[in-house]
Structure 1
Amino acid sequence: MSAPPRSASSDRSRDTRSVQQTDRPPLTERERRILQLVVQHFIDTAGPVGSRSLARQFDIGLSPASIRNTMADLEDMGYLDHPYTSAGRMPTQMGYRTFVDELMQAPKLSDAERQVLKMQLAQLVSDTDEMLRESTKLLSKLSNLLGVALSPRLSTGVLERLDIVPLTGPRLLFVLNVSGGLVKTIVLDFEADVDRSDLDRIVSMLNERLAGLTLAEIRDTHEERVRDLDDSTGIVDLMQAEATPLFSEPQQGRLQLGGARNLLNQPEFQETDDIRHFFELLEDEALLIDLLENLCTTPDAAGNTYVRIGSGNDDDEMASYSIVVSPYRMGSTVGTLGLMGPTRMNYPRAVALVQTMADVLNRSNGDDSSGDTAL
């Protein structure tokens, strides 16, 4: 088998928080080629890679002794490691990082796989939560990794319409329709009886003053915007008193995880302790939300795909895992979609899956922008 071609990835945009090339020892062309093959072989087999197996599998014009010497040099520079004496080599996190930044082939899905993603999501455009749940399941099924999705921050969304619906008992249902098909509902206690005509009048006035603003703008400036409204029902006073919960993020429900069972197919999750640690990590919703949001906060985040490897996640709990994410748009809001798994993951396929899924979501929501890969 001949060696795969090098990826011409140097012109792709870079995430500024990635380890930069100047932080790594420079590599010769031979060293780059051997590192690429070791990483690819280890991703495929999950076993340490020996010089003889590389010489047999790939027609690279080098003897096992030459390959072994090159691998030893790569280990001395920190790109490779070996798990025990006389074993073959395996990539370090720096080896994976260099592979993703410089050596892996340009990620691409087949036309058939792209069509499957589009068809699976086509019927779910009107249901945002279901679309995200299905997206994570599809990503996991096609990668044997964990699918993750974070719905957009509602406070950044533009209010299209506010509706208020009387419920049985002393309660009102506030329905906030936000650009991109997002909806927030909240039930508030309200003792007074309100005629339908009065309610419709108040709702109309509130929409005249508030529609077209982001929820954050409404939360911060509602007093000056509605203080002069003629309201004897008390609804405007209720809205002002409850503005923080009304126009802020929901406390729960933003994070979607799909296909955790598929990770059990990975060799890294065969031991009970490894499985327990990973699922304990998944229970820390605040950590995962913070991680997903921080990965896509750069000004040019939209349309890019980001990769974090092991300790590059800046959190000790994530030191053994990698995550591939891409932002997606829903109207004026931005969410995050991705895959999470062990550092030994098929990075080209993970990037291709995440980038394609984000593109499908963007087009489903009327955004025709296409993605690049920022690693």
Structure 2
Amino acid sequence: MTDPAPLTTRQEDVLRRVVQHFIDTASPVGSKTLADEVELSSASVRATMRDLEEAGYLGHPHTSAGRVPTELGYRLYVDGLMDVTGLSEREAGLLRESVRRRLGDLEAVARETSRVLGRLSQLLGVVLTPSLSTGVLERIEVVPLGGARVLFVLALRGGLARTVAAEVDVDVRPEAVDGIVRRLNERLAGHSLEEIRRTGRERVRDLEDEDRTGIVRVVLRDGKTLFRESTPARRAAIGGAQHLVAQPEFARPEWVRDVIELVESEDVVVHLLERPRLVDPTEADRAVVLIGREVERGRPDVEDGPAYSVVTAPYRVGESVGAVAVLGPTRMDYSRAVGLVEYVARLLGDSPPD
């Protein structure tokens, strides 16, 4: 199949206006609506729209004389015709505050930021916390909790941390912890959690004989759990479902149910946003847009519901990568969605905006 011929300036202008009108109104766009805007006759606009339809950029609903964008039309609009919408100072302030108030608790930041993102976009807002598997261990700290319970604190480069409570074999005295923890750090710090899961036992096995706290035995016994990845339910924060189901595309109850099932399927969301095409650490903060059939939703049971689009941007914290996204119908305000997710990705990453 050959590439379509380049559009003329008039065709680009008409396509841009059809997309923008349809995003704003959710109604097919007729030639009379555009004629005054482009200073052309209705007949000229109608002919241009017919050419765009023949080229596959516009569709023609049977019940209307107007046109609507196709997925191909949206793709051309996103890739070359739209201007990204900036945030107002109030909107930027709301997002900055959602991060500042919960600084240090990344899961809480993700929950609050996804809620604000959903409200500002009127779509489904998603914040995926970074994958800890790729995070590099900076140090281990062990805090006695009393009796035979301790708290492992895994501090990663970039400021991420994971805490895990564990049972040891003996009552732990705080003064006995420092020495063995120092030896653990000598063996494990500087390696990724994924590497530690694979090789950690061999790295620390010889320390067991000198350990009187039981801490090394916990690492040997529970290392795969201690250094594991967070579950999808803890990594994916999703907010704004009430805004998404208010869109006219979701008028049918079964489509609303589809949205609810998607919100509850954190593993599907994580899988979607961690596709290699979407999470490129060399392009952190840059949005990627998937439209309609480009979205692998993993929901083959739903065949006639509204098509989705996803706008997402990765963000980097140290060596780890997370993602920010909005999800909604193909008739979404892509220019605003791109502006929002790129701003939030910069906000959460290593190089936040001023």
User: Does residue 33 of the first structure (1) align with residue 20 of the second (2)?
Assistant: no
Deviates more, 1:274-283 or 1:223-232: 223-232
Deviates more, 1:349-358 or 1:277-286: 277-286
* Aligned pair partner of 2:290 in 294, 302, 308: 308
Name which structure has the greater RCO, CA cutoff 8 Å, separation 6+: 1
Provide the residue aligned with 1:247 in structure 2: 227
Which ranges of structure 2 fall in alignment gaps of 5 or more residues?
none
C-alpha separation between the residues in 1 aligned to 2:353 and 2:286?
A: 10
C-alpha separation between the residues in 2 aligned to 1:315 and 1:143?
A: 20
Provide the residue aligned with 1:83 in structure 2: 61
Q: Deviations over 1:196-245 (max 9, x none)?
A: 33333211211232223221222222234223323244431320222111
Q: Give the partner amino acid of 1:163.
A: E
Q: C-alpha displacement at 1:23, in angstroms?
A: 4.3
SS in 2 for 1:227: helix
User: Does residue 270 of the first structure (1) align with residue 251 of the second (2)?
Assistant: yes
TM-score (norm 2): 0.89
Q: Aligned pair count?
A: 345
C-alpha separation between the residues in 1 aligned to 2:272 and 2:122?
A: 21
Provide the residue aligned with 2:341 in structure 1: 354
Q: C-alpha displacement at 1:349, in angstroms?
A: 0.5
8 A Cα contact 2:133 2:194, kept in partner: yes
C-alpha separation between the residues in 2 aligned to 1:193 and 1:120?
A: 41
User: Does residue 328 of the first structure (1) align with residue 315 of the second (2)?
Assistant: yes
Q: C-alpha displacement at 1:158, in angstroms?
A: 2.0
C-alpha separation between the residues in 2 aligned to 1:219 and 1:273?
A: 43
8 A Cα contact 1:303 1:369, kept in partner: no
Q: Give the partner amino acid of 1:358.
A: A
Q: C-alpha displacement at 1:139, in angstroms?
A: 1.2
Provide the residue aligned with 2:274 in structure 1: 293
Q: Give the partner amino acid of 1:209.
A: R
Q: Evaluate the alpha carbon distance shift between residue 169 and residue 219 of structure 1 in structure 2; reply closer, same or farther with a 3 A threshold.
A: same
Which ranges of structure 1 fall in alignment gaps of 5 or more residues?
1-20, 371-375
Deviates more, 1:128-137 or 1:298-307: 298-307
SS in 2 for 1:329: strand
- Alpha-carbon RMSD across the aligned residues, in angstroms, is 2.4
C-alpha separation between the residues in 1 aligned to 2:130 and 2:280?
A: 15
Q: Evaluate the alpha carbon distance shift between residue 53 and residue 158 of structure 1 in structure 2; reply closer, same or farther with a 3 A threshold.
A: same
SS in 2 for 1:326: strand
SS in 2 for 1:30: helix
Deviates more, 1:175-184 or 1:46-55: 175-184
Provide the residue aligned with 1:225 in structure 2: 203
* Aligned pair partner of 1:367 in 344, 351, 354: 351
User: Does residue 182 of the first structure (1) align with residue 165 of the second (2)?
Assistant: no
Provide the residue aligned with 1:9 in structure 2: none
Q: C-alpha displacement at 1:46, in angstroms?
A: 0.4
Q: Evaluate the alpha carbon distance shift between residue 209 and residue 166 of structure 1 in structure 2; reply closer, same or farther with a 3 A threshold.
A: same
Provide the residue aligned with 1:4 in structure 2: none
Q: C-alpha displacement at 1:35, in angstroms?
A: 0.8
C-alpha separation between the residues in 1 aligned to 2:262 and 2:322?
A: 21
C-alpha separation between the residues in 1 aligned to 2:52 and 2:134?
A: 47
8 A Cα contact 1:181 1:330, kept in partner: yes
SS in 2 for 1:344: coil
C-alpha separation between the residues in 1 aligned to 2:69 and 2:146?
A: 62
Provide the residue aligned with 1:47 in structure 2: 27
SS in 2 for 1:164: strand
8 A Cα contact 1:292 1:336, kept in partner: yes
Q: C-alpha displacement at 1:258, in angstroms?
A: 1.1
SS in 2 for 1:148: strand
